[in-house]
Structure 1
Amino acid sequence: MIPAPTLTTERLSLRRPDARDWPAFRDFMLSPRASFFGIDTEAKAFRQFAAELGHWDIYGHGMWTVTLQGTDAAIGLVGPWTPPDWPENEIGWMIYPASAEGKGYAFEAARAAIAHAYGVLHWDTVVSYVAPDNIRSAKLAEKLGAVIDDKAAPPASCKGYLVFRHPRPQTKGGAA
């Protein structure tokens, strides 16, 4: 297993996902809140979760499980997602329990993941693919400073999705 960095923010820890995160992922994917992902069976959720785990071993990076600092319970999944059929490197996000929405966790975790993508992975660009009716994710992308790139194409499996392009984070003294 490839070691993965753990990112920490003011309130969150982002760690490599593992088997203990399966129940929270499955329950979220089978809920109406995850309808944008098109996963409607436990078997499809299992395959997607296995892909999340395998992404780390194949590419050396992937989405992190998001936990509140001091706990180990998964409240979401945020970070790099670069399967071979994706036209560009993506930062994706999902927060599992409805009770965790509206608290800024997705923003905090995504901001850390974007900084990691630019600063550590040395990506030249970062996008997020958002279903057009996923208003909460679109607003989050905009809050992160991303703008819609009408010239960029989403993955074929995400036909009609909006492509949000994220700016490079600024650091003291210049660009990241």
Structure 2
Amino acid sequence: MTPIPTLTTPRLTLRAPGPADVAPFAAFYASDRARFVGGPLDAEGAWRMLAMEIGHWQLRGYGRWMVEERESGRTAGMVGLFCPEGWPEPEIGWDLFEGFEGRGYATEAGRAAREYAYNILGWDTAISLVKPANTASAAVCRRLGAVMEGEFVHQRHGLMQVWRHPAPAELSDGGMEAYA
């Protein structure tokens, strides 16, 4: 089994998903907030999606973390590294749960996930896939220094924008994260 590391940022803990996450995950996937990531789904579909997220760690050696507010311990969403079958290349993705948007959590957790991908896994690039109508996720991409480089059509999810993140050398040579 691939051990899932815990990451911390000033305000967040990124931790392994598990059984306690079924209810908040199902609530997210039952809501309209999930429309950009394959939802809404019923409880069984959400359970299967959470199982896929956990299994992704085993199949790829990396995946997405549940995001908790450090101060309250509440689960704020899921952020991390994702590349299921059919994806054009590994991505950094984020889903924030109801009530946690607008606080910079996706940017903060996305930055931590990217640092893990570059510094621990040795990635030399990463993308984020964003549905064209998902302006909030496009704004997170911009805050992370990513630029839109094209489009990708997925057989189930349809048209998505491909946002390219700065390479590790760009970040270490005075890029955006040098000033974070």
Q: Does 1:132 pair with 2:139?
A: no
Aligned position for 1:82? 83
Aligned position for 2:14? 14
Q: Does 1:91 pair with 2:92?
A: yes
SS at match of 1:13: strand
Q: Could you tell me how far apart the structure 2 residues matched to 1:46 and 1:36 are?
A: 18
Report if the CA contact (8 A) 2:11-2:71 is conserved.
no
Report if the CA contact (8 A) 1:115-1:168 is conserved.
no
SS at match of 1:149: strand
Report if the CA contact (8 A) 2:78-2:94 is conserved.
yes
SS at match of 1:122: coil
Q: Greater CA deviation, 66-75 or 83-92? A: 66-75
Aligned position for 2:65? 64
In the TM superposition, what whole-angstrom CA distance separates every residue of 1:68-94 from its partner, at most 9, and x where no partner exists? 115543211000001122110011101
Aligned position for 1:142? 142
Report if the CA contact (8 A) 1:126-1:165 is conserved.
yes
Aligned position for 2:156? 157
Q: Could you tell me how far apart the structure 2 residues matched to 1:66 and 1:160 are?
A: 27
**TM-score where L is the length of structure 2:** 0.88
Distance apart, 1:147 and its partner CA: 0.5
Q: Percent identity?
A: 44
Q: Could you tell me how far apart the structure 2 residues matched to 1:173 and 1:101 are?
A: 29
In the alignment, structure 1 segments of 5+ residues that lack a partner are none
Report if the CA contact (8 A) 2:13-2:68 is conserved.
yes
Aligned position for 2:27? 27
SS at match of 2:75: coil
Q: 1:23-62 to 2 correspondence within 5 Å? A: 23-39=23-39, 40-62=41-63
Q: Could you tell me how far apart the structure 2 residues matched to 1:139 and 1:172 are?
A: 23
- Give the aligned CA root-mean-square deviation in angstroms: 2.1
